Amino acid sequence: GVDCVALLPKKGPLCEDMRRMSVEHAILPYRLWTGPEGGPRWRRAARLGWNLFWSFPAALRVRRWAPDLIYTNTSTVPVGAWAALLAGRPHVWHIRELGRTHNRRIFDLGERAALSAMNRLSGLVLVNSEYVAAHYRPAFDGNRIAVVRQAVTPERREQAAVPPAAGRFRCVVVGSISRFKRQEEAVEALARLVAEGRAAELLIIGEGDPEYERRLREMSARLGLGESVRFLGEVPAAWPFIESADVVVQCSRHEAFGRVVVEGMLAGKPVVGARSAGTAELIHEGRTGRLYEVGDVDRLAAILRELMDGPEERARLGNDARAWAEERFSEQQYGDALVAEFRRLLDSGRVG
């Protein structure tokens, strides 16, 4: 019972998806209103001016389509909210990231001014975890924030070349290479297992901060890990690597949601995560995975050791986690939750 139209910033694979689903869409070259911390002020001003200019054509398109509401699927794009204001339509902002805390990006307006604008321009603000809700709730009025956890549909592509495990206990870490993702803890924990003569390995999937990656490689060499740690860079899809794992490890301390955690669960793998941010909302200790305190490498190594020695426990955790995740992160559940929140906004009559 929902009809959709879409504004996209450029041509790409999403356009083909829209055509396949018979969703009318238009291209307007709007941009993000966030940039790297420390970027030049003139570039921030230029992005703001560019986005403000394209808000007027966006508003004309909105008036032509006459939707019941405008939905912006990220906090990093302002054009939908500005177009909704110009066209007099209710606006929903869906926040999935933590900006400076999460990826060292800042709003062109500055965080205080940007959040104030988001509060004024949105009748409803959706977030993808309680952690993100707690971070942003002080900036928004009343009951404007609601938590809607996203669907997780793994990309089951077969073209990824997964290296054979060769009989070794395989741990897999997926995510951008970043000091906030804390891959170093997984490397150090693996070193403890290898030092005991255990046949274990760690696959690190992702790209990111080259300086931090250099530190990780130097650490691996210093600890004598050799081929026990493999840096595989960016891959077409992480799913085949997760499926090949004995354990999925998530060390991040500022995970807004925890998609990789859910993917590990859906693959039926035990997930070991840092007791922090969105990860701690997904892993229930001893039921859907295992938790350790951020920075406690000894505890992480102990958990990996227990799981390595307990194949039956690995299977139990993986099966229980899969059942739990399949019940909560389906596309049907996500769509129903979104529509319920949209109807709540429309029934309230609130625009901004």
177-229: pLDDT as tens digits: 988 899 999 999 999 999 999 999 999 999 988 999 999 999 999 999 998 99
How confident is the model at residue 307, as a pLDDT?
97
Beta bridge mates, 231: 204
How confident is the model at residue 157, as a pLDDT?
58
Strands (E), the chain: 5-8, 24-27, 34-36, 70-72, 91-95, 105-107, 124-127, 145-147, 169-174, 200-205, 229-233, 247-250, 271-274, 290-292
pTM for the model stands at: 0.87
The half-sphere exposure of 99 on its side-chain side, counting CA atoms within 13 A, is: 23
275: left (phi over 0), alpha (psi -120 to 50) or beta: beta
Q: What is the chain's mean pLDDT, rounded?
A: 92
Percentage above 90 pLDDT, the chain: 79
- Exposed, middle or buried: residue 49 (CB in 10 Å: 0-12, 13-18, 19+)? exposed
Q: pLDDT-based confidence at 89, cuts 50/70/90?
A: very high
Residue 195 parent element (H or E): helix 183-195
Q: Token pair of 308, please?
A: 């390595």
Q: pLDDT-based confidence at 23, cuts 50/70/90?
A: very high
C-alpha to C-alpha distance for 31 and 84, rounded to whole angstroms: 17
Q: Token pair of 121, please?
A: 């321009």
Percentage above 70 pLDDT, the chain: 97
Summarised one tens digit per residue, pLDDT across range 27-39 is 999 999 999 888 8
Q: pLDDT-based confidence at 155, cuts 50/70/90?
A: confident
Residue 78 has pLDDT above 60, yes or no: yes
Q: Token pair of 331, please?
A: 């596309």
Q: pLDDT-based confidence at 169, cuts 50/70/90?
A: very high
Residue 158 has pLDDT above 70, yes or no: no
User: In 21-77, which ranges are continuous DSSP H helix?
Assistant: 41-65
Residue 4 has pLDDT above 90, yes or no: yes
Summarised one tens digit per residue, pLDDT across range 240-296 is 999 999 999 999 988 889 999 999 999 999 999 999 989 999 999 999 999 999 999
Residue 160 has pLDDT above 70, yes or no: no
How confident is the model at residue 59, as a pLDDT?
97
| Average pLDDT value for residue range 122-134 | 93
How confident is the model at residue 37, as a pLDDT?
84
- CB-CB contact of 228 with 194 (8 Å): yes
Residue 101 has pLDDT above 80, yes or no: no
Q: Please choose, from the candidates 347, 339, 340, 232, the residue with its C-alpha nearest in 3D space to the C-alpha of residue 3.
A: 339
C-alpha to C-alpha distance for 295 and 244, rounded to whole angstroms: 26
